[in-house]
A and B are shown apart, each in its own frame.
Chain A
Amino acid sequence: MGPIPRAAGRMLLVTAMISGVATTAWSHHAAAPVFDMNAEKIVTGVVKQVDWTNPHIWIWLEVQNASGQAETWGFEGMSPNFLARRGWTRTSLMPGMRITVTFRPLRDGKAGGMFMTGKLEDGKVLTSAGAE
């Protein structure tokens, strides 16, 4: 897409201030139509698979639901190109790692969203802006 349209631009400003969402997502697709950019949710689970792929990385978690059943959740991250220049590697997240993910939920209510931050058990924090 080209220069960001006005409404999306306003949204971008707001999200950048609130949460530090990087704008790379906008290069490929608009975030607001699919993710609720005003909501923030947290879920803890175990990494099943990481797709270190373009145009976005995808992090798949196994999460126990309220009735104790395992569900698969999917989170869209930035691109490997963006993240690899900011401290992430393709092994930053590996299957079996337990992680608490903060995310913008999918508007359709399905199990997933836009990855914001991930806190690992050793205290390491991965963000959409880079690894710390």
Chain B
Amino acid sequence: MKHVACIVLLLLAGAISMAAQAPTLKPPAAADWAALAKLPDLTGVWEAPTVGRGGRGPAAAPPPEPPLTPSYAAKKRELDARNFDDTEAANCLPTGMPAIMGHPYPYEFLLTPGKVTIVSEAYMQVRHVYTDGRTLPPDPDPTFNGTSVGRWDSDTLVVETIGFSPLTTIVRNTPHSDKMRIVERFHLTGPDTMSIETTVIDPEALLKPWTTTRTLARHRDWTIREYICEENNRNFLDAQGKAGVKLTAPVKPVK
């Protein structure tokens, strides 16, 4: 019995020290679920409706280029000069933020008490946006999708994200500094349309904050599908930046 009590104490101590490091999500009460119903309904599966769409929609104009500081413009020129055919995405590396929100694949938005979860079908990525009032940690480990908190500004969900892996870029061949911060404003513009205004702030890489906007359309009858990029990826980018296609004989399924 004494032994059990010791373990319980140890576990408690562990839980308390964990709590000191990371905020804990409090167990939702009925009122928390009811409060969700009063928020703008962002739930469901969304996809960008234009950009080619198999030729049915107009092709998007090339996005405006981020205003780079001289040192980052020089970095970009250096990367451009390598003349790489493609990015590591051809090798199935997920793109990370902010590119993850620009895919021609759907996203599912889930609202639960204290959290918005964004499931990106492309590369099967998940973004965890805490809306329970916590603040961003001062120095999170760098990750592809960063560390996010959100709050409701009237009927707009405002998400702030920091802490990005150096393997991600602002746009292609455009690195960010460890000071990059991304602010997204998610706002319903109609019964089934949502606008996402994305502002990239990076005092080392950008002369001024860089804002782009994307519109998504909701598909109530869609579900998110599996996307295992490694399932049958025949594309590649080699170490010299040459892209190619593996045309080896198709692999027969194991029976």
Contact = CB atoms under 8 A, between A and B. Distances in A.
* Interface size classification for chain B: 35 or more
A5 B172 contact: yes
B59 A13 contact: yes
A34 B241 CA distance: 12
B167 to A, nearest CB: 13
B78 to A, nearest CB: 15
A30 interface: yes
Nearest to B92: A55
A29 B59 contact: no
Contacts of A26: 104
Interface residues of A, number: 52
Given A54-B231, A55-B227, A130 B105 contact: no
A5 B171 contact: yes
Nearest to A84: B225
Interface stretch (B81-89, B156-164, B178-186, B201-209): B81-89
A85 to B, nearest CB: 7
B232 A56 contact: yes
A112 B229 CA distance: 21
A96 interface: no
B243 A29 contact: yes
B131 interface: no
Interface string B73-104: 00000000000011101101001001100111
B234 interface: yes
A128 B104 CA distance: 14
Interface string B52-69: 111110011111010000
B108 interface: no
Nearest to B62: A9
B233 interface: yes
Contact of B247 (A16, A86, A112): A112
B218 to A, nearest CB: 14
B152 interface: no
Given A28-B229, A55-B233, A2 B55 contact: no
A106 interface: yes
Nearest to A10: B62
Given A2-B98, A5-B171, A79-B227, A58 B59 contact: no
B255 to A, nearest CB: 14
Contacts of B250: 49, 51, 58, 60, 74
Contacts of A3: 62-63, 99, 102, 171-172, 212
A32 to B, nearest CB: 8
A21, A30, A86 — most chain B CB neighbours (10 Å): A30
Contacts of B228: 54
Contact of B52 (A22, A28, A54, A81): A22
Contacts of B59: 12-13, 16-17, 23
A128 B54 contact: yes
Contacts of B98: 2
Contact of A54 (B56, B87, B232): B232
A35 to B, nearest CB: 8
Closest 9 pairs between A and B when the two form their complex, measured CB to CB: A129-B54, A20-B55, A2-B99, A33-B85, A23-B52, A9-B62, A53-B232, A29-B90, A22-B54
Interface of B: 51-56, 59-63, 65, 85-87, 89-90, 92, 95, 98-99, 102-105, 121-122, 169-173, 212, 222, 225-229, 231-235, 237, 243-245, 247, 249-250
